[in-house]
Amino acid sequence: MSSLYIYGAKALALGICHAVKRLYPEHPVRGFLVKSLRDNPSVLAGLPVYGLGSAEDKNVHVLIGTPEDLHGEIAADLERHGFYSYTCVDSVKEAELMGRYYAAIGKFPSVHRLSGGVPEAGLKVYMVRSRKDRPLQREYRRPEWVTPILAGAALAGESAGSNADVCEPGMVRDDTGDHISGKNGNYCELTALYWIWKNILCKAIPAKGPEDYYGLFHYRRILDIGDDDSGRLTANDIDVVLSYPTIHEPDISEHHSRYMNEADWQAMLRALAELHPAYARAFPRILAQPYLYNYNMLVAKRSVLADYCGWLFPVLERTGELSVPRGEERSDRYIGYLGENLMTLYFLYHRNDLHIAHAGRNMLL
pLDDT of residue 165: 54
Among residues 89, 119, 139, which one ends one of the domains?
89
Q: Judge whether 100 lies within some domain.
A: no
Average pLDDT (131-139) is 75
pLDDT of residue 119: 67
Q: Which residue has the higher pLDDT, 49 or 169?
A: 49
pLDDT of 232 > 90? The answer is yes
Average pLDDT (300-317) is 97
Beta carbons within 10 angstroms of residue 275's beta carbon? 15
Percentage of the residues of the chain whose pLDDT score is greater than 90: 75
Percentage of the residues of the chain whose pLDDT score is greater than 70: 95
Query: Are residue 58 and residue 124 in the same domain, yes or no?
Result: no
Q: Which residue has the higher pLDDT, 121 or 347?
A: 347
Region of poorest pLDDT, from 23-27, 205-209, 290-294? 205-209
Q: Which residue has the higher pLDDT, 170 or 60?
A: 60
Query: Are residue 116 and residue 230 in the same domain, yes or no?
Result: yes
Q: Judge whether 84 lies within some domain.
A: yes
Q: Which residue has the higher pLDDT, 259 or 24?
A: 24
Contact predicate 272/279, CB 8 Å: yes
- Domain with 46, as residue range(s), is 4-89
Q: Judge whether 324 lies within some domain.
A: yes
Contact predicate 73/52, CB 8 Å: no
- Give the chain's mean pLDDT: 91
Backbone angles phi, psi at 211, to 5 degrees: -75, 140
Say which residues have a Cβ less than 8 Å from residue 245's Cβ, sequence separation at least 6.
Answer: 108, 291, 292, 293, 294, 344, 358
pLDDT of residue 260: 86
pLDDT of residue 286: 96
Contact predicate 237/125, CB 8 Å: no
Query: Are residue 306 and residue 214 in the same domain, yes or no?
Result: yes
Query: Are residue 42 and residue 139 in the same domain, yes or no?
Result: no
Per-residue pLDDT of 178-193, as tens digits, reads: 999 999 999 999 999 9
Total domains in the chain come to 2
pLDDT of 163 > 90? The answer is no
pLDDT of residue 125: 96
Query: Are residue 9 and residue 154 in the same domain, yes or no?
Result: no
Average pLDDT (251-257) is 88
Query: Are residue 130 and residue 270 in the same domain, yes or no?
Result: yes
Query: Are residue 136 and residue 20 in the same domain, yes or no?
Result: no
Query: Are residue 214 and residue 336 in the same domain, yes or no?
Result: yes
Residue 259 pLDDT class (50, 70, 90 cuts): confident
Average pLDDT (262-282) is 97
Amino acid at residue number 204: A
Query: Are residue 77 and residue 150 in the same domain, yes or no?
Result: no
pLDDT of 207 > 70? The answer is no
pLDDT of 136 > 80? The answer is no
Query: Are residue 82 and residue 153 in the same domain, yes or no?
Result: no
Q: Judge whether 104 lies within some domain.
A: no
Residue 158 pLDDT class (50, 70, 90 cuts): low
- Helix, strand, or coil (residue 78): helix
Query: Are residue 18 and residue 120 in the same domain, yes or no?
Result: no
pLDDT of 209 > 70? The answer is no
pLDDT of residue 34: 96
Per-residue pLDDT of 38-53, as tens digits, reads: 889 999 999 999 999 8
Q: What is the CATH number of the domain that holds 77?
A: 3.40.50.20
Query: Are residue 211 and residue 288 in the same domain, yes or no?
Result: yes
Q: Distance between CA 83 and CA 48 in Å, rounded?
A: 18
Q: Judge whether 98 lies within some domain.
A: no
